[in-house]
Chain A
Amino acid sequence: MSQENSRQFSAALSEEFEAVRLRYLDTMETTIIELDALLGAIGRPDVQERALEGIRFRAHKISGTAETFGYPRMGQLAHQVETAVDQRARLSASGPTKQIEALVETLLVEMEQTLDARVYAPQAARV
């Protein structure tokens, strides 16, 4: 890519990226509500496994996208949640869930703070 092409690419991408980032923040509210509901369901033995599976799936998505949009801490926390659910599944399917619940709680706080602040951290963005 030539220097001129690169400059045009960056400019076009910045506009596109900003539009997608705003849509991402819009969907985050829904994700917070879903994660909160799943966190509440962990305590119910009849749906515990499905709840954990749902948490893992959402955490996986957040870990794959948050850093791209400039939220590296959110991405790291989501990754920790995903890893904790995987570890529990590997060690014992009926093991304790306290650590997972604590991590999800921390992730939710981070997501809520991000939404409240609506702060974009361009220095951390990958695009």
Chain B
Amino acid sequence: MKILAVDDDRIILQLLEGILASAHYDEVVYCESAERALDLIATEEKSFSCFLLDIMMPGMDGIELCQRIRDLPKHAETPILMLTSMSEKSYIDRAFSAGASDYLTKPLDATEIIVRLGVAEQLMKERRSVAESAGVIDSLIEVLDRTTQHDLEEAIDLGKMDRLLRYPAFESYVFQSGRGALFLSTVFAAKVRNIEKLHRIMPPLEFKNFLRTAASAIIGRLESHDVYLSYRGEGEFVGVIPRKGQLVLKALGGEISIAIDESEGNHTAKLPATASLALAPSSPIRLPTRGELSRAIWHAIENVRRITSPSAQQVSRRWSAGGFPAAVARLRQENDDVKEDLREEFAQMLREQLNSEIGEHHKRSQISRRRSLPGIFK
């Protein structure tokens, strides 16, 4: 450890020399003024790794010297121990404000000096170790960033999470769960608003972490309803809730807000504090077939795309600006849409029930009856 000791009292310097030499600190430079100390710091080839500074010195005092040393980037973390007599206690606060790490009071105690220097040395070693580790971590993150670059459209594997399935597994789960298990289930989609911008400004690992946070936010809110979720690219998630999903989603509201962690590492990005996740359900499925589930997934995705598209947001803003009549008109329209959906669902359900209950034999009978009674089914 290379030490610079500064004190205008030559006797104190000699005393320090004796103490430090006895403790085998061999790389010590002594000087009698703050000005000379700054010259030494500027010109020494090998940097000092610890400073011992007297506070009260003629000319520039130890506190100002401490501040000047701290202002040098290479000594932002270097231990600075202030030497002060008991009568200078009032200066201690100022010394710490100026960046001092520790202080030693005069009369000097040899053992105390050695102990404090030992602590400073240990601290410095740990900081160096942390800095080296941080460097290694930064390099690894860079490599990972390069190797984990994903297109926005890609259905990134978000890693292991309870109730989060990769997209192919999700489809298999939905199609193979059986009609009974998915009776009255609701397929829904969720999409992160402004995902293109977030994908552009976030480093790849942070983007993936953000998507994990979004997945976790959805699952966390629907966990008790046996939700299964999957990420399918473009900031879009699809999920299925086995029973009474419509009610659950309605209770959840149309939006989830997600906090975004501050960007870290070498390539930090200026990120918004939160992102918004829009939710849209498909129609409930009574007794789902494979084709019907596929349609439900697409229906939910189209719904969520519609509400998150920039034009939809403009329309929404225009409606908000239109006041009460516009709001009433919007509610009426929504009401009509819901009625239409229900009519369609009901008709579909009846068709299915007829198909499954009557069977091929009855169909054939009906066809032959139709032929014999041509007027009834017209």
Contact = CB atoms under 8 A, between A and B. Distances in A.
Interface of A: 1, 9, 12-13, 16-17, 19-20, 23-24, 27, 57, 60-61, 63-68, 75, 79, 82-83, 126-127
Chain B binding surface SS class = helix
Interface centre among A16, A24, A63, A79 (most CB of B within 10 A): A16
Contact of B22 (A9, A27, A57, A82): A9
21 contacts: A1-B114, A9-B114, A13-B18, A13-B19, A13-B110, A17-B15, A17-B110, A20-B11, A20-B14, A20-B18, A27-B10, A57-B58, A60-B56, A60-B85, A63-B87, A64-B85, A64-B107, A68-B106, A75-B107, A126-B109, A127-B108
B12 A12 contact: no
Contacts of A27: 10-11
Given A24-B11, A60-B87, A83-B87, A65 B107 contact: yes
B361 to A, nearest CB: 99
Given A9-B114, A79-B87, A127-B110, A64 B9 contact: yes
Contact of B15 (A20, A57, A61, A83): A20
Given A9-B23, A13-B19, A83-B87, A65 B9 contact: yes
B358 interface: no
B21 interface: yes
Interface string B85-129: 111000000000000000000111110001000000000000000
A82 B90 CA distance: 14
A83 B15 CA distance: 25
How extensive is the interface on chain B, given as a class? 20 to 34
A109 B107 CA distance: 21
A1 to B, nearest CB: 7
Interface centre among B12, B15, B17, B114 (most CB of A within 10 A): B15
Contacts of A61: 9
B107 A23 contact: no
Contacts of B22: 9, 12-13, 16
B207 to A, nearest CB: 52
Nearest to B54: A64
Contacts of B19: 13, 16, 127
B9 A16 contact: no
A66 to B, nearest CB: 8
A31 B114 CA distance: 30
B18 A67 contact: no
A61 B108 CA distance: 12
B55 to A, nearest CB: 10
A114 B15 CA distance: 20
Contact of A82 (B14, B18, B21, B87): B87
A122 to B, nearest CB: 14
Nearest to B83: A64
Interface in B49-102: 56, 58, 85-87
Nearest to A16: B18
Interface string B1-41: 00000000111101101110111000000000000000000
A20 B9 CA distance: 12
A126 B10 CA distance: 18
A9 to B, nearest CB: 5
Given A9-B23, A63-B106, A65-B11, 16 more contacts: A9-B22, A12-B21, A12-B22, A13-B19, A13-B110, A17-B15, A19-B18, A20-B14, A20-B18, A27-B10, A27-B11, A63-B86, A63-B87, A68-B107, A75-B107, A127-B19
Contacts of A12: 21-22
B110 A126 contact: yes
